[in-house]
Structure 1
Amino acid sequence: MPYRWSAPDRLELWPHQALSRRGFARVIAGFAGLGLLPLAGVLGTGALWGLLPFLGLALAGLWWGLRRNARDREIREVLETRPGLWRLQRLGPGDRRAQWQGDPFWLELRLHATGGPVPDYLTLRGGGRRVEIGAFLSPAERRALAQELRRKLPAK
């Protein structure tokens, strides 16, 4: 699962990492190689120069899309569950940071089966605000996380 308890009171969450640097290079090289195969039939003709820019645009689009996806996967969430204070920090790409904190006694943990931007949307409410946690996780992972967090909440 893309989350773990790094300490008894510290939970770290991150998006799935499906493509490594080596995988990125393989995808780009494979796409370029397969894209050049159909052009072998027009080598030495003027048609090659008419088709080559389209291959270049497609390759540039794939490169940009994979790079953008890698940047979006740089998100990290850290939840500290100390007695008397829960603190959630969201660390985004480009050093963007957001922080929320609340008293665990007054905290409301909700798993929204429907109505959220994703199925089984998990939110924490307290301190006058509602924040999402683990929106990049799969629905099954959010359900499991909700059960773990409920066990950490103090009995009311």
Structure 2
Amino acid sequence: MSPRAFKRFILLFGAGTFALSLPFYVMGAWPVVGFMGLDVLALYIAFRVSFYSARAFETLDLTPFELRFVKTTADGARAEWRFDTYWVRLEQERHEEFGVQRVTLVARGERVEIGGFLGPDQKAELAEDLTKALAVAKRGPVFG
């Protein structure tokens, strides 16, 4: 959602909440207006927190020689891991009922979780696609 659309949404939601709270005010239940205003504030805060969290991202760069994983937090802090394509392996932690819970890159004693923000189905798809890509990369570069 764009900042302009967010502003419109909050204003529209606030106006609707205000309109719905007016009858309570007229009937003498004025505290309802304040509590409905708190609902608008809570929604605003929840969206702002969500927008902030959405700035975090991860990237995977795979070459025949190296797998590079970069994790950037919402505040811009970066952490980078480099793995030899030949030695890295992918591990999945599965739950019978909920599916893939964790996907981890493992190489020479180092473990890094990837895709922590993804849902179980997306983690399974990531693991499948990355396993295939690693198999191709381990075959080495293709010349001519």
- TM band (smaller chain): 0.7 to 0.9
1:62-73 superposed matches below 5 A: 62-73=43-54
Percentage identity across paired residues of the two chains: 28
Q: Report the equivalent of 2:81.
A: 100
**Would you say 1:78 and 2:78 are equivalent positions?**
no
Q: Report the equivalent of 1:123.
A: 104
Q: Helix, strand or coil for the counterpart of 1:113?
A: strand
User: Any idea what the Cα deviations from partners look like across 1:115-144, whole Å, max 9, x if unmatched?
Assistant: 9xx841211111432111112223222222
Between the aligned partners of 1:24 and 1:114, the Cα distance in structure 2 is: 37
Q: Report the equivalent of 1:4.
A: none
1:125-144 superposed matches below 5 A: 125-144=106-125
Amino acid at match of 2:59: V
Q: CA deviation at 1:43?
A: 5.2
**Would you say 1:147 and 2:128 are equivalent positions?**
yes
Supply the RMSD in Å over aligned alpha carbons.
Answer: 2.5
| Worse-superposed segment, 145-154 or 70-79 | 145-154
Amino acid at match of 1:34: G
Q: Report the equivalent of 1:30.
A: 12
Q: Helix, strand or coil for the counterpart of 1:90?
A: strand
Q: CA deviation at 1:74?
A: 0.9
The answer as to whether partners of 2:24 and 2:33 remain within 8 angstroms in 1 is no
Q: Report the equivalent of 1:91.
A: 72
**Structure 2 unaligned blocks of 5 or more:** 140-144
Between the aligned partners of 2:9 and 2:55, the Cα distance in structure 1 is: 20
Higher relative contact order (CA 8 A, sep 6+): 1
